[in-house]
Amino acid sequence: MQATKQPHIQFFDSYETRETALAGAVGHLVPGRLNGPRQFWKEFRQIAGREVPAGIRENITYISADPRDTLAFGSPRQVLAAACLCTAGSSGERFSLRELAAGMQIETLLDQPIRTLSGGESVKLALAKALAFSGTSARLVVASPFSWLSRSNRALFERALDGYRRRQVPVEILALAGEDDLAPARAAEFSGAVAGGAAFSLVFSGARLAIGSPVNAVTDDQLYARIADFHGDLVSPCLLTGENGQGKSLLAKALAGAIATRGTVVARSGHAAGRARLLFQDVVTQTLLRSFEGIVASAGGDRHKRVVALYRQLLRASGNGPGESAGRHDPAGTGIFGRRRTLLEIKTALIAVRLAARPPVLILDEPDWGLSRPAAIALVAAVIDAAHALDVPVLLISHKPWWQMIAGSRLRVAKVPLKAAGCPFEIRLERL
């Protein structure tokens, strides 16, 4: 009997070095989305204009840091049905759609639009698809699986890997430094007086939110989710926790007005009330393929100078340099334009734009995405300190235990299935 092959894990200090490794593993066939549309389409044309490298012509299964990159259809059922069809004639191990869905605990999601899935649910689907190809693939490459999955769902990742281990298929995991660490951060790792921020409140009353247009717009009904009534007085930074797929990101988008919502959904703090401002977990998607210059310029008017100042302040406070050299194309004279940006810099710019508006609450949804553990802790500490200086409360959303030491208050979210027509579940908040 052959010994079971263990996955080869590499750790990287930055998103960029990990993405370079992923690109090399799949023959540089995936264009980057981080530096605006011009760079994206330049890389796309280069990929389209050359032959697939000889060493990459084997069947390689991969899951990128954004699992939606490999989910091409409208619903999980369609994704898994296509995977089953692709492997139907193979001599290797085959799985039915039902087996794949049950194995990754996504049976109830099969007909939900993919665009409405949470990050964790998308990873489960990507893992189910990867498992379907375990009988035909020559290699599996996975980028940052530990960023998306909660502790309890890591067993699902191991289940997918088992399909490859049984066939002695090489597995390569590309992760960020500290990404798999489940230990809470120590107080000494946070700079400044992070705790003790302003009081704020969240109010949900009769709230219903749309969870995406139906896959079949002709025959399917529009689906809504309910948010149970809740009025909580909280202290910043507030930590919102919950397992994958329990509705954390949906709550955040409802508070920020990023999805259509009925009823009362309000964030209130000492200086403002209304919509919160939100940093998505998937920052690359939130850039909307805008360049760094476009992100900074989106503030508009007098706020632009505040954005630049906050951007520099956050970079310095998080240990990423006191300033930057001026680029060749910098009409505003700020000295921050004219070169390609790292994900950390783009994330910092997006936060600066939101913080400059002094919203009633700033929401950071899984802020460690795309960052090593040290970089994530340093950035979150810098953002909370800057926000508190502006009297802006911070709501941290995370399934990781890293942030327990700094929480001024805590909430837990849970999804409860319903049998109501057109309303499959209710999201409930509980104060801890």
Last residue of a domain, one of 176, 211, 230: 176
CA 281, chain centre distance (Å):
3
How many residues comprise the chain? 432
Q: Is residue 23 part of a domain?
A: yes
Q: Is residue 1 part of a domain?
A: no
The domain in which residue 252 lies consists of: 187-431
Q: Is residue 3 part of a domain?
A: no
Q: How big is the CA angle at 272 (ends 271 and 277), to the nearest 5 degrees?
A: 120
A 10 A CB-CB count for 277 gives 23
Last residue of a domain, one of 118, 153, 176: 176
Based on the fold, state whether residues 121 and 250 are members of the same structural domain: no
Q: Is residue 352 part of a domain?
A: yes
Question: What counts of helices (H) and strands (E) characterise the chain?
Answer: 13, 15
pLDDT at residue 119 in the model: 83
pLDDT at residue 409 in the model: 94
Based on the fold, state whether residues 204 and 330 are members of the same structural domain: yes
Q: Is residue 181 part of a domain?
A: no
Alpha-carbon distances, residue 125 vs 81, 105, 275, 337 (angstroms): 12, 9, 32, 39
Based on the fold, state whether residues 245 and 166 are members of the same structural domain: no
Q: Phi/psi class of residue 119: alpha, beta or left (left: φ > 0; alpha: ψ in -120 to 50)? A: alpha
Based on the fold, state whether residues 197 and 324 are members of the same structural domain: yes
Closest CA to 148 of 395, 379, 398: 398
Write out the chain's pLDDT in tens, 432 residues.
344 567 789 999 999 999 889 988 887 777 776 666 777 788 888 888 877 766 666 688 999 988 888 898 989 999 999 999 988 766 667 899 999 999 999 998 898 888 778 888 899 999 999 999 998 898 999 999 888 888 888 899 999 999 999 889 999 999 999 999 989 988 777 765 566 678 999 999 999 998 765 545 545 567 788 999 999 999 999 999 998 889 999 999 999 999 889 999 999 999 999 999 999 887 777 776 777 888 888 877 778 889 999 999 999 988 875 444 333 334 344 445 546 788 999 999 999 999 999 999 999 999 999 999 999 999 999 999 999 999 999 999 998 899 988 899 999 999 998 887 788 889 999 999
Q: What is the 3-state secondary structure (H, E, C) of 321-376?
A: CCCCCCCCCCCCCCCCCCCCCCHHHHHHHHHHHHHHCCCCCEEEECCCCCCCHHHH
Based on the fold, state whether residues 143 and 49 are members of the same structural domain: yes
Q: Is residue 199 part of a domain?
A: yes
* Contact status, residue 381 vs residue 23, Cβ threshold 8 Å: no
Based on the fold, state whether residues 95 and 199 are members of the same structural domain: no
pLDDT at residue 66 in the model: 85
pLDDT at residue 330 in the model: 41
Based on the fold, state whether residues 157 and 13 are members of the same structural domain: yes
pLDDT at residue 88 in the model: 78
Domain CATH code at residue 252: 3.40.50.300
Closest CA to 354 of 275, 418, 265, 422: 275
Alpha-carbon distances, residue 256 vs 30, 234, 278, 350, 425 (angstroms): 31, 17, 6, 14, 21
Based on the fold, state whether residues 275 and 342 are members of the same structural domain: yes
Q: Is residue 2 part of a domain?
A: no
Based on the fold, state whether residues 49 and 68 are members of the same structural domain: yes
What is the number of structural domains in the chain?
2
Based on the fold, state whether residues 142 and 231 are members of the same structural domain: no
User: Rounded to whole angstroms, how far apart are CA atoms 322 and 50?
Assistant: 41
Based on the fold, state whether residues 192 and 288 are members of the same structural domain: yes
Last residue of a domain, one of 176, 195, 225: 176
Which residue in this structure is represented by tokens 């951060």? 185
Based on the fold, state whether residues 151 and 260 are members of the same structural domain: no
